[in-house]
A and B are shown apart, each in its own frame.
Chain A
């Protein structure tokens, strides 16, 4: 009991740290990856020792983004505008970060491993209603942006807050429908079971990932997830050109950093959800518990611990690749107009999601997988 409790605490902390590190990686990608995409140089100034510069090495901007930027952010003046609701103005950034951080704990990042006779599942919380937990915590993410917009006593901020609320409520529906069709496919709400159900192969070579059975749901979750994380092309709540900074216009210093961190963490969360539901989570194609069963019939035996650890690495690789994909989308597409956003959500994604759920239901009944 106590061992499981300690292991659970360690896993939860690890998962939250993973979310924070991924956010840092996304910040780096935001600065330097965008420079690569747009053929700029990007941040390349800050160094600690100056040693690399003297040795003629190119500056990769890692010090800039991971050390200099956060220090700059947190040492700036923390400003609360006159007439603002002081309590809510201070609470709002944390209210927006908290739901994202607690969502990370249900994501399975590996198979069960045995250490010293204890079987430890590599997920911080193995909930039977894991998918419901996800939907519940993601739904709470609205309040941070909404209350930040309202409490700032600023019209642009309020407009941004209202936009954020409307957008997140609309796209949550599409997100829920996409997740529902995956749940129906696997017949369970347990995320670890959903990932287990994606092991094995079809026709001897195709991995049983849900992206091949539910491609439409994958697209729905991708689009709705991008909209939930409020990044371009769905950054209407922030839109720099019309609302200046939207709901967090009146924030400075550390609190603004928390809002930006929330956006990056949400992006990382969306990548994790897509990986878990559609890209087989920690599954590696053709890798069983005892080793690789390659399509040609070749077999490569591996120890069980190595297989489990490779699963964790595979999960991280998939998540990082998806994060980079989302970042590339962000630097490629222009922003939607507001009516386009609402039309896409209510007349595009929601009917498609309902259609997908209906088709999934027919297929599930027809193939006789109902108890």
Chain B
């Protein structure tokens, strides 16, 4: 990826990420988040991590953000006016920001403090190499994760299920147990 494109996309990602927290309207924040995810995905693709980039667009920008949209609609979130957030949220937020700043320091720091980067071979991000790793070295972890996700799906369906004749999901759960 040529440097000017990298800088342009990086700047775009930072600006849209700022938009996520600056916008007062939740839908505008969501759009800014989608723009951030898209630009980061394009950066991934430009750095040869093709599958990760496309999966980010398919899963995050294409599906999870739609869920966010639904949540915003269903909760009928309005434009924020006053300051928000609990003290605990602010505390953990500052902690995360401090961690990020430390990481940035070690990447941009004087040479003797710098993190050493290794150059990955060409095609390390292709589907073939990713699938090869996933289905040999990390097979157990991969399969266990899929079982975990299945359990989550079954659990949420069981919680939301309503038996015919009952309107209260809790009554339905009692009847089912």
| Residues in A lying within 8 Å of B, measured CB to CB | 85, 87-88, 128-129, 132-133, 135-137, 139-140, 142-143, 146-147, 150-151, 158, 162, 165, 169, 172, 189
State how many angstroms separate the Cβ of B77 from the closest Cβ of chain A. Answer: 12
Q: Which of A88, A129, A142, A151 interacts with B127 by CB under 8 Å?
A: A129
Q: What separation, in Å, do the CA atoms of A128 and B128 have in the docked complex?
A: 11
| Bound Cα distance A162, B25 (Å) | 19
Cα of A165 to Cα of B71 in the assembled complex, Å: 13
- Shortest Cβ gap from A141 to chain B (Å): 9
- B73 partner residues in chain A, CB cutoff 8 A: 150, 158, 162
Among A139, A150, A151, A169, the residue within 8 A (CB) of B57 is A139
Q: How large is the interface on B (under 10, 10 to 19, 20 to 34, 35 or more residues)?
A: 20 to 34
Given A129-B51, A132-B51, A169-B66, is A139 in contact with B127 using a C-beta cutoff of 8 Å?
no
Docked CA distance A85–B127 (Å):
41
Q: Are B69 and A146 within 8 A (Cβ)? A: yes
Given contacts A135-B58, A136-B58, contact A169 B126 (CB under 8 A): no
On whether the beta carbons of A142 and B57 are closer than 8 Å, the reply is no
Taking A136-B54, A136-B57, A150-B73 as contacts, is the C-beta distance between A128 and B126 under 8 angstroms?
yes
- Residue pairs across A and B with CB atoms within 8 Å: the count is 61
Task: Determine how close the nearest CB of chain A comes to the CB of B59; give it in whole angstroms.
Answer: 9
B62 at the interface (CB under 8 A from A): yes
Give CA–CA (A323, B63) in the complex, Å: 28
Contact B61 A139 (CB under 8 A): yes
> B13 at the A/B interface (Cβ < 8 Å)?
no
**Majority secondary structure of chain A interface residues (helix, strand, loop or mixed):** helix
Contact of B66 among A128, A158, A165 (CB under 8 A): A165
**B32 contacts the other chain (Cβ, under 8 Å)?**
no
Would you call B40 an interface residue if the criterion is a C-beta within 8 Å of the partner chain's C-beta atoms? no
- Asked if B62 and A189 sit within 8 Å, CB to CB, the answer is no
CA A88 to CA B69, docked complex, whole Å: 14
Q: Interface readout for B61-81 with A: 1 if CB under 8 Å, 0 if not?
A: 111001001100100000000
Please tell me if the beta carbons of A136 and B127 are within 8 angstroms of each other in the complex.
no
> A87 to chain B: which residues have CB within 8 Å?
28
A165 — which chain B residues lie within 8 A by C-beta?
Answer: 66, 69-70
Name the residue among B34, B51, B54, B126 with the largest chain A CB count within 10 angstroms.
B54
Do A146 and B66 touch across chains, with their CB atoms under 8 A apart? Answer: yes
B residues near A189, Cβ cutoff 8 Å: 127
Q: Does B50 sit at the interface, judged by CB under 8 A?
A: yes
The 8 closest A-B pairs by CB, nearest first: A139-B62, A136-B57, A132-B54, A136-B58, A129-B50, A136-B54, A135-B58, A139-B58
Q: Which of B1-55 contact A (CB under 8 A)?
A: 25, 27-28, 31, 34, 50-51, 54-55
Residues of A within 8 A of B58 (CB): 132, 135-136, 139
Residue of A nearest to B69 (CB): A146
Contact across chains for B62 and A140 when beta carbons are under 8 A apart? yes
Contact of A169 among B50, B63, B127 (CB under 8 A): B63
